[in-house]
Structure 1
Amino acid sequence: MVLRYRVRGHGGSVRRHGVETKFMYDAIIVGARCAGAATAMLLARRGHRVLLVDRATFPSDLPHGHFLHRRGPARLKRWGLLDRVAATGAPPITSVVSDYGDFPLIDRDIMVDGAPLGYGPRRRAIDQILLDAAVEAGADLRTGFAVQDYIGDGERIIGIRGREAAGRTLVTEHPPVTIGADGRNSRLARTVGAPMYEEQPPLTCWYFSYWSGIPDPGLQLYLRNRRLVLAFPADADLVAIFAAWAASMLPHVRADIPGHFMEAVDAIPALAEQVRAGR
Structure 2
Amino acid sequence: MAKQIGRFDAIVVGARIAGCVTAAALAQLGWSILLIERARFPRPTLSTHLFFSDTLHAFQRAGLLEPVLRIGAPRLRWLRFPYVAAPFPESGEFDFALCIRRDVLDTALFETVRSLSNVTALTSARVTAVRRVDDRRWDVVVETTSEEWLASAPLVIGADGKDSIVARQVGAPVLQEIPPLFAWYYTYVDDLPWDSDLAALAYRGDYPEIGAEYAAAFLFPCDAGLTLVGYGVEHRAFPAFRRDVTHHFFAGLRRIPEIWERFAAARQVAPIRGTGHLPNFLRQASGTGWALVGDAGCHQDPHSVQGMGNAARSAWLLAEELARVQTEGIDLQQALARYASRRDDDLLPMFAFTTFELRRRLPDDIWERFEARTREDPHLASLRVAAMVHAIHPATVYTPERVVSLANGEAVLPLHSA
TM over 0.5: yes
How far does residue 109 in structure 1 lie from its aligned partner after superposition? Answer: 6.4
- 2:21–2:62 Cα contact (<8 Å) kept: no
- Please list, as runs of the form range in 1=range in 2, the aligned pairs for 1:58-69 lying within 5 A after superposition: 58-69=41-52
Which ranges of 4 or more aligned residues in structure 1 deviate by more than 6 Å? Answer: none
The answer to whether the 8 A contact 1:86-1:92 is kept is no
Q: Would the aligned equivalents of 1:66 and 1:121 in 2 still touch at CA under 8 Å?
A: yes
> 2:203 matched to which residue of 1?
222
Instruction: Find the aligned partners of 2:186 and 2:8 in 1 and give their Cα distance.
Output: 40
Distance 1:248 1:257 in 2: 15
Corresponding residue of 2:173: 195
Structure 1: distance between partners of 2:266 and 2:110: 33
SS in 2 for 1:172: strand
TM-aligned CA distance change 1:98 to 1:183, over 3 Å: closer
Q: Is the 8 A contact 1:94 1:111 kept in 2?
A: no
C-alpha root-mean-square deviation of aligned residues, in Å? 2.1
Could you give the per-residue CA deviations for residues 18-49 of structure 1, whole angstroms, max 9, x where no partner exists? xxxxx631111111111111100000111111
- Name the SS of the counterpart of 1:133 in structure 2: helix
Letter in 1 for 2:162: R
Deviations 1:125-179 (A, max 9, x none): 22122212322333110111112222223767611112222x23x2111112111
> More deviation in 186-195 or 257-266?
257-266
Identity of aligned residues (%): 29
Q: Does 1:125 align with 2:113?
A: no
Query: Is 1:56 matched with 2:35?
Result: no
Supply the AA of the counterpart residue of 2:35: L
TM alignment of 1:121-160, pairs within 5 A: 121-138=100-117, 139-153=119-133, 158-160=138-140
**Does the CA contact (< 8 Å) of 1:40 and 1:52 recur in 2?**
yes
Deviations 1:154-211 (A, max 9, x none): 767611112222x23x211111211111111111211121101232111111111111
For 1:70-219, what aligned pairs fall within 5 Å after superposition? 71-99=54-82, 106-108=85-87, 110-138=89-117, 139-153=119-133, 158-165=138-145, 167-168=146-147, 170-216=148-194, 217-219=198-200
CA distance in 2, matches of 1:157, 1:183: 23
When residues 262 and 70 of structure 1 are mapped into structure 2, their CA distance, relative to the original with a 3 A threshold, is farther
Higher helix proportion: 2
Higher strand share: 1
Mean alpha-carbon deviation: is it higher for 27-36 or for 254-263?
A: 254-263
Q: Please state whether the residue corresponding to 2:174 is helix, strand or coil.
A: coil
Report deviation, 1:59. 1.4
How many angstroms apart in 1 are the aligned matches of 2:261 and 2:244? 21
TM-score calculated relative to the size of structure 2: 0.56
Does the C-alpha gap of structure 1 residues 155 and 192 become closer, same or farther in structure 2, counting only changes over 3 Å? farther
Residue 31 of structure 1 corresponds to which residue in structure 2?
A: 14
Residues 233 and 155 from structure 1, CA distance in 2 versus in 1: closer, same or farther, beyond 3 angstroms? same
Indicate if the aligned counterparts of 2:79 and 2:199 stay in contact, CA closer than 8 A: yes
In structure 2, how many angstroms separate the alpha carbons of the residues matched to 1:114 and 1:58?
30
Q: Structure 1 58/90 Cα, relative in aligned 2: closer, same or farther at 3 Å?
A: same
Query: Shift of residue 234 of structure 1?
Result: 1.6
Cα distance in 1 for partners of 2:193, 2:92 equals 27
Count of paired positions: 251
Moved more, 152-161 or 258-267: 152-161
- Secondary structure in 2 aligned to 1:111? coil
After superposition, give the CA deviation of every residue in 1:48-80 in whole Å (9 maximum; x if it has no partner).
Answer: 110101121111111222211251123334444
Q: In the aligned structure 2, how far is the partner of 1:75 from the partner of 1:155? A: 31
- What is the alpha-carbon distance in structure 2 between the residues aligned to residue 177 and residue 98 of structure 1? 41
